[in-house]
Amino acid sequence: MSRLIFVFMLIPLVASLSLADGFTYTYSSIVGTDNDVIILIEWTPTMIDPLCAPQPCCYNEVPADCCHYIVFYANDSGVYYVTYAYNVKAFASENGTYLFSDVIYRAYSGCFQRLGGVSGKAKFVFPYVVTMISNKLLVYHVGCTMRKIGEVPVTSKCTFDLSSRSLIVSCPNGTRRFALSGSRMVEVPAVKRWVVLGTKRPPVVQGKLENDVLVFSNGNRTYKILSKELLPYLYDSKELKFLTGVFMKDALLILPPTMDYEYCIYNGTFSSKLRSTSPLSNSEFVVYDFKLSEFKPVYAFLYNGTLRPIPLFLPDGKYFKPLAPKVVIKSECPCPVRTFLSVLSLVVLVSPL
């Protein structure tokens, strides 16, 4: 308690000497298929640390509610803002089914549908979700809908192991094994184990500047864009070398570099720096004495012969205002012709048993 009192007494003293704030944002996840992509941008605000006085400006104190995520959804038609979230991971299956914030969504041909939420201690191996609530394991199949296919009575001492075709429940009184399908679960004496791979990701490359042309190539497709088309939307011409290209079915999605910013006012003197970094390399560039009034929208781009700039958000030195249009979440989307999911999908343990 005495430490807390000491901190509160320091704050007004330090504030009279200096003021510092800033932020960092990075692309913590880009997942999806060629048709649809979920983009998680992790935003971490930073501020002056009152315990490091009497230094003029010292950073790296992070608020207790860190970290914030801005969730975007992109397809060939545009980039759309979904929501703000906290401490999130995003995962995707091969048919455009996404999981983040314990909520499962499905995207098909630009249609964005909420299938349902998951609570309790849960494990996901698409196309299956198993969640432990009270004294039951509830088992769901995720496809064009989210369907409950069975449940198993358990106690707090039970554990379970889920794969893309089976469920094994281990309790003090014995082990039960279940084979899973899209419509039901059947108890069996033995199950075949399947290898489970990581989450689905689209091809992502860093652009290369060749003379006055920015080139993105994934080995199968190559896009070339005149740098003068991009420059009006960037903070600095050096940013051209830090743009990231995401290959979609019929277009290239171009994302800005990651960024961190910090500013300090000490004895009436203002100093700052804006650092941009490629998410695919360690290269970076820094703009010094970047004023708060100089912030402008951060853009993404869609390109397929014609460049389409899309404002993502506007930073003000401390917060972010989403500018992309809000995604429309529909109650039902058309079902793709191929309704099954790959057995080689993903695993994520939301909370340990």
Q: Specify the 3-state DSSP secondary structure of 94.
A: coil
DSSP assigned state of 326: B
Overall number of domains in the chain = 1
pTM of the model: 0.77
252 strand-pairing partners = 247, 303
Neighbour-count burial for 171-189, b at 16+ CB within 10 Å, e otherwise: eeeeebbbebebeebeeee
Q: What's the token pair of residue 102?
A: 């314990």
* Residue 276 lies in domain: 204-317
Asked if the structure places residue 188 within a domain, the reply is: no
Asked if the structure places residue 271 within a domain, the reply is: yes
Asked if the structure places residue 323 within a domain, the reply is: no
Cβ pair 154, 132 in contact under 8 A? yes
Other Cβ atoms closer than 10 A to 301: 21
Asked if the structure places residue 247 within a domain, the reply is: yes
Closest CA to 20 of 51, 65, 53, 58: 58
Please state, in angstroms and rounded to a whole number, the distance separating the CA atoms of residues 25 and 282: 15
The tens place of each residue's pLDDT in the chain, 353 residues long, gives 333 332 323 333 333 345 667 788 888 788 887 788 889 888 887 766 666 555 566 655 565 566 778 899 998 889 999 988 877 777 777 667 887 767 888 888 788 889 888 877 778 888 888 988 888 999 999 888 889 999 999 998 888 888 888 899 999 989 999 999 888 999 998 776 655 555 678 889 999 999 999 999 998 899 999 999 999 999 888 889 889 999 988 899 999 998 888 887 777 778 888 888 887 777 788 888 888 888 899 999 999 999 999 999 998 766 788 999 999 999 888 887 654 433 333 333 333 32
Q: Specify the 3-state DSSP secondary structure of 339.
A: coil
Asked if the structure places residue 229 within a domain, the reply is: yes
Asked if the structure places residue 24 within a domain, the reply is: no
Asked if the structure places residue 274 within a domain, the reply is: yes
Asked if the structure places residue 146 within a domain, the reply is: no
